[in-house]
Amino acid sequence: MSQQALAQQIRFIGEKYRLYAGIFNLIIGIISNISIIVVFTTLRLFRANQTAFYFIAESISNIGLLLTLNIPKIFTAFINYDPAQSSVIWCKLQTMLLQAFALFSLFNICFLSFDQYLSTNARATCRQKSTLKLAHRLTSFNVCFVILHGVTALIFTEIQSSMGCNVYNPIARRYYTFFYYPILANSFPLTFILTSSLLAYRNVRRIIRLQQPVFRRRLDSQLTAMTLARVIVLGICGFPYIIISLYQLNLSITADDYMKIAIITLLSIIFASLLHVNFTVN
């Protein structure tokens, strides 16, 4: 079997995997995130609770990301036409929406972990800052930021025959290589989330030692555990995709490198599906 034929076979396997993984993530993700929204909006315990608001906001963003990501793939599988690889407008728009939803969910976890630190703090002044009003302001800032940041995708995303829809501008590639992936979408939020979550966990232990009411101890412990779980899932699911994205951005490749293109594409598909599990199992 020639390299070109083997590369086509690898591409075929990758496309089938992407389709079935996308369908699975879409179905489970919609059920999971809608369940979160229903629970936090119907239970009286969580009404007007800022932590519940963060979870609801993230669930809405996750649903938007899963729909934007997977619905076009499902239609592509049936009509054998991928608009993201042939339509520059959809290529730019889809990249912008995916970045916006992903960054919103990521920063939302940052705000959630910080809120847990404030709400479990032993100091009354810190607890008083953890309010629904602050959650609304931070979420509004989050929305504005991800929309403005998405403009970079509208400007610099384009289509090339060898690697498809991606960022090829040298300046934009340096931005994504040295700032977006390693800092904005990786080290900064993960460090912030981990630090805030550990401080919140310490606060919960202090609340127990201070013999606070049982109801508050249980609620704070449960919400903090949920936040820590989000951090763990985010790190496990997101790190491999960050690595392959950085490698793909800095890869020098020609249209004749059939096997290299096929293998990198397959790895990117697998790690992307793992990343999307983070938005599925909210």
- pLDDT value at 213 more than 70: no
Question: Average pLDDT for residues 127-134, to the nearest whole number?
Answer: 90
pLDDT at 223: 67
Across the chain, mean pLDDT equals 82
Give me the CATH number covering residue 167. Answer: 1.20.1070.10
pLDDT score recorded for residue 56: 94
Q: pLDDT at residue 177 above 90?
A: no
Number of domains in the chain: 1
Say if residues 30 and 66 touch (Cβ distance below 8 Å).
yes
pLDDT of residue 210: 52
- Per residue in 94-121, pLDDT tens? 899 999 998 999 899 899 889 888 888 8
Domain membership of residue 39 as a residue range: 3-280
- Region 191-196: mean pLDDT is 85
pTM summary value:
0.81
pLDDT digits (tens, 9 = 90+) for 16-46: 888 888 899 999 999 999 999 999 898 887 7
The mean pLDDT value for 243-253 works out to 71
Long-range contacts of 257-265 (CB under 8 A, 24+ apart): 258/3, 258/4, 258/6, 258/7, 258/8, 259/3, 259/6, 259/7, 259/10, 261/7, 261/162, 261/163, 262/6, 262/7, 262/8, 262/10, 262/11, 262/14, 263/10, 265/10, 265/11, 265/14
